[in-house]
Structure 1
Amino acid sequence: MLERIETILTPSGPVAALIDPVFRVMTSLIFIIGGLGHFGMHQMMLDRMAESPWRDVVNSIADPSLLLWLSGAVFIVFGISLALGFMTRLSAVIILLTLVPITFFTHIAPGHTGPLFKNIAIMGALAYFWFRGCGAYALDNRLAQH
């Protein structure tokens, strides 16, 4: 019975190939929109960082405002790149390396477990692209043909 259910739920070849661009776009949207938020809601995010128990560590790394601008730019640029399947592995790694300290310094705080586990799940998606690559319908594939 379980085998039958598995067979019924397994998408066919052409439909299965669509999951790659859909997953890339769905994953990248949180970075593109969130990155724009780093610019549009800059002060609100700075205020949130100031409430973090890790604010002194963040301040010792660099100016929090500068870090917010940089992370926003990384999320937008490499989020778009990920969505297009262009430099997919590099994009996933760069976003992941940007997301880890943000998660640690912003979301490991009382009352932030929802965003913490959301980011952990997103890190799983980024690890997937890092290890698997772009999948179907990606610029990486088109460029590899030339």
Structure 2
Amino acid sequence: MKLQEKTLEVSYRSVVILRMMLSLIFIVASTSHFFKLEQTVKRIEAANFGFIAHVLGTAEIAVILSVMAMLLAGIALLVGFKTRISAIILMAVLIPITLTIQVGQTATLGPLFKNIAILGGLIFFTLNSNIKLKKQ
């Protein structure tokens, strides 16, 4: 099955609103993880796939690096600066977080599918970084 390239007109406001709302979850999460560093590290250590965080060394290093990436890329996405690069960085952070914390969590699937939906928004900005928007 081959996907055809088609042109789609979208509202300028809708793309800006999507970009802003999507970025806020990363900005809020990064500040929360920063101020609750010890709790975040404990949550990773208790997760079924917590070992994934140790790829970077310790879970604390993984949290600190993810906080910095989420905050900087989240702000860049918020203001529309380098949206493709920002979305790719956020995906690079979101995927390991999802695998570490949400996958293997049998109690609830809500957070897993929340992250999948967020990933969809990031894919949108990765594939459509050169959107030619006309203000209406």
- The normalised TM-score by structure 1 is 0.78
Q: Secondary structure at the match of 1:53?
A: coil
Partner Cα distance (1:23, 1:57) in 2: 30
Structure 2 residue identity aligned to 1:123: L
| Paired residues of 2:30 and 2:66 also in contact (CA < 8 A) | yes
Partner Cα distance (2:94, 2:52) in 1: 16
1:86 alignment partner in structure 2:
81
Partner Cα distance (2:55, 2:64) in 1: 17
Partner Cα distance (1:43, 1:134) in 2: 40
Confirm whether residue 35 of structure 1 aligns to residue 15 of structure 2. Answer: no
1:6 alignment partner in structure 2:
none
Partner Cα distance (1:39, 1:107) in 2: 20
Question: Which 10-residue stretch deviates more, 95-104 or 49-58?
Answer: 49-58
1:119 alignment partner in structure 2:
115
Identity rate, percent? 31
Structure 1 residue identity aligned to 2:124: Y
Partner Cα distance (2:97, 2:88) in 1: 14
> Could you tell me how far 1:37 is from its partner in structure 2?
1.1
| Paired residues of 1:20 and 1:134 also in contact (CA < 8 A) | no
Equivalence map 1:1-146=2 (5 Å): 16-109=11-104, 110-133=106-129, 135=131, 136=133
Partner Cα distance (1:134, 1:75) in 2: 22
Partner Cα distance (1:112, 1:48) in 2: 15
| Paired residues of 2:54 and 2:62 also in contact (CA < 8 A) | no
Larger helix proportion, structure 1 or 2?
1
Partner Cα distance (1:71, 1:104) in 2: 14
Give unpaired runs (5+ residues) of structure 1: 1-12, 138-146
> Could you tell me how far 1:72 is from its partner in structure 2?
0.7
Give unpaired runs (5+ residues) of structure 2: 1-8
| Paired residues of 2:23 and 2:77 also in contact (CA < 8 A) | yes
Partner Cα distance (2:118, 2:33) in 1: 18
Q: How many residues align?
A: 124
Query: Which 4+ residue blocks in structure 1 deviate beyond 4 angstroms?
Result: 134-137
Partner Cα distance (1:73, 1:126) in 2: 18
> Could you tell me how far 1:74 is from its partner in structure 2?
0.5
